A and B are shown apart, each in its own frame.
Chain A
Amino acid sequence: MDEKRQKSRSSGFRFEEIEHTADVGLRVQGKDLKALIENAALGMAAIVCDDSFLPDDRMEQLVEVEADDREGLLVEWLSELVFLLETNSFIFQGFQIENISETHLKAKVYGKVAEELKVHIKAVTYHNLNIIETKDGLEATVVFDI
């Protein structure tokens, strides 16, 4: 990873795309694990799709994942969304996190059938994945295989 791409907010950005020679990296921040999880999903949606959403776009999917630690939870969550994207063309924009711990997550995901996908994400990797504490909360960098 060498250089940033313009997607950051002026301070305390939610997500930004990171350069990677072959794949795509996403740096994500959140004030807590819940915000980090939501921002990571929004960042991934921004990588794959430019569709805009209307108030009526309220298709709902229930997602529940488990992992051994919070890094694993982040990968499992995003992997589940990759699965929904690929099998149902489901693109998401809103979340209602019903239950979250470092090893378990249950959420309602709201979105719609994507009109056009610009990138195909094959998978979410564990490559160099660490959720770190910052002065603003938590930060992680996720590498996607595309």
Chain B
Amino acid sequence: MVAIDDLVKINDYVYEIPQSFRSDMRVPARFFTDDKLLKAVMGDRSLEQLVNTATLPGVVKHALAMPDIHQGYGFPIGGVVATELPDGVISPGGVGYDINCGVRLLATKIEREELSSHIELLTGALYNNCPSGVGKGGNVKLKKGELERLIEQGCHWALKNGYATEEDIEKTEERGCLEGADAKTVSQRAFDRGLGQVGTLGAGNHFLEIDVVNHVFDEKTAQRLGLFQGQIVLQIHCGSRGLGHQICTDYVKAFQKCIKKYGLNLPDRELVCAPLSSSEGQNYLSAMKAAANYAYVNRQVLTHHVRRSFDQALAGKVANRKVYQIYDIAHNMAKIEEHQVDGKLMRLCVHRKGATRAFGPLRPELPAPYRDIGQPVLVPGSMGTSSWVLVGTQSAMEQTFGSTCHGAGRILSRSQAKKKVRGTTLLEQLKAKGIHVLAGSMAGLAEEAPEAYKDVNCVVEVVHGAGIATKVARLDPLAVIKG
């Protein structure tokens, strides 16, 4: 276990576990926190997991964790690990089972007062049109050949099939399609799991939320993003569903053989990995991209359902019902990127597991409308609490391979949360705060109670203070749809 005495405080927001802590570490580990959040970090085994990631072959500079760090499996949630090409490794467990789990932020020109008398109607329409919950299938029925095209073309498939607009695609990370996804690297089992789930939220911590922009911190950037005080916006949080889960399952299994083949010495079998230059590494990268494309399409089809819901619920009541996209980001992904490391330009594979890319201004990967302001970063809070819109910074490029936090970060296990909070009581409490909740399961609701998470505002204070993203606007929830 990592003890407080093992830590070296680098500055007010950064602690280091030196390379000397364990003989198998190839680089030091660093994590972002403050004195207030540090206690939660020390409360589970997340730092031990962070140290484990510092042992991966080809790891560059530091193994990192964001302030929403908590215990996962293999990597900690909040982990950022960059490995050097061509022979550094890629680890399926370092991306996680929910490949390209991410967040999409949609906006309207509707102000809070205009919606207030219709919000229950709108929430009901969203609940009916956006399938959520354990085992709920979607209403986009596909044959295997069509799903092959979907996972290779990503949101371009959605555009061709009437689920997307050009503007949506322009404002999606990677334009909603990672090039190089080959359906042949995806198993039949993954297809079987993914076929009926396009356009579904799933369960767990996934949600769809109606929010109001309650505080603008950076007026100029907010304006550029299309955000204003009092505005109604929506967040969609979900990922690649069963297709992604199965792809990770398949490759974690297949990579077990790589331990012997490549002479890997790993502290945890969930960290199995293969050199990016190997056929195993390349096949996983391709399959991961296929799952990522599925996830972009999943959020895109849900966006289509959101637009239908606005028309159904608000026709004749609200004049301008246009729902437009602000941005869509991934927070479970490995990306091939170029970064300056100690003055040297390097090609890296940046694993972000429960961490968001936060590129600073002028990176060519950013969409033209946002290139000079930096990448929009979407940080959903726990249910019933604030969410944040931030932008990436040059400092993030220097400190974290252009990465920042992805959410609040759990502190209580799901069963601890259920012991502390009853779903029905929570529902009443949220209602008293003016937040409508439609949930498929009361137990599931209790698991996601705000008490189960760190305070997202504290997490955002750390990333803002450390300069690895800056505040643009805070969103507060009005209605939540959960599985």
Q: What residues of chain A have their CB less than 8 Å away from a CB belonging to chain B?
A: 1-3, 5, 17, 19-24, 67-68, 71-72, 75-76, 79, 82-83, 86-87, 89, 114, 117-120, 122-129, 143, 145-146
Contacts and interface: CB of A to CB of B under 8 A. Distances in A.
B441 interface: yes
A22 B448 CA distance: 11
A129 B245 CA distance: 19
B257 interface: yes
Interface string B71-109: 111100100000000000000010011100000000000
Given A123-B97, A145-B96, A87 B193 contact: yes
B182 interface: no
Interface string B232-272: 00000000001001101100110011000000000011101
B441 A71 contact: no
Given A22-B77, A72-B253, A75-B253, A120 B203 contact: yes
B269 A79 contact: no
A127 B245 contact: no
B135 interface: yes
Given A20-B71, A127-B270, A129-B269, A118 B441 contact: yes
Interface residues of B, number: 45
A127 B443 CA distance: 26
A86 B272 CA distance: 25
Nearest to A129: B269
A21 B44 contact: yes
Contacts of B73: 23, 125, 127-128, 143, 145
Contacts, number: 110
Given A117-B134, A118-B443, A83 B193 contact: yes
Given A20-B71, A24-B414, A125-B73, A87 B269 contact: no
Interface of B: 44-46, 70-74, 77, 93, 96-98, 134-135, 189, 192-193, 202-204, 242, 245-246, 248-249, 252-253, 256-257, 268-270, 272, 410-416, 441, 443-444, 483
Contacts of A145: 73, 96-98, 245
A145 to B, nearest CB: 5
A22 B72 contact: yes
Closest 5 A/B residue pairs (Cβ): A127-B73, A126-B269, A21-B71, A127-B270, A123-B97
A67 B257 CA distance: 10
Contacts of B269: 71, 126-127, 129
Contacts of A71: 269
Nearest to B72: A22
Given A120-B134, A125-B93, A145-B97, 14 more contacts: A2-B44, A19-B413, A20-B71, A22-B70, A67-B253, A67-B256, A79-B253, A118-B444, A120-B203, A123-B246, A125-B74, A126-B256, A126-B272, A143-B73
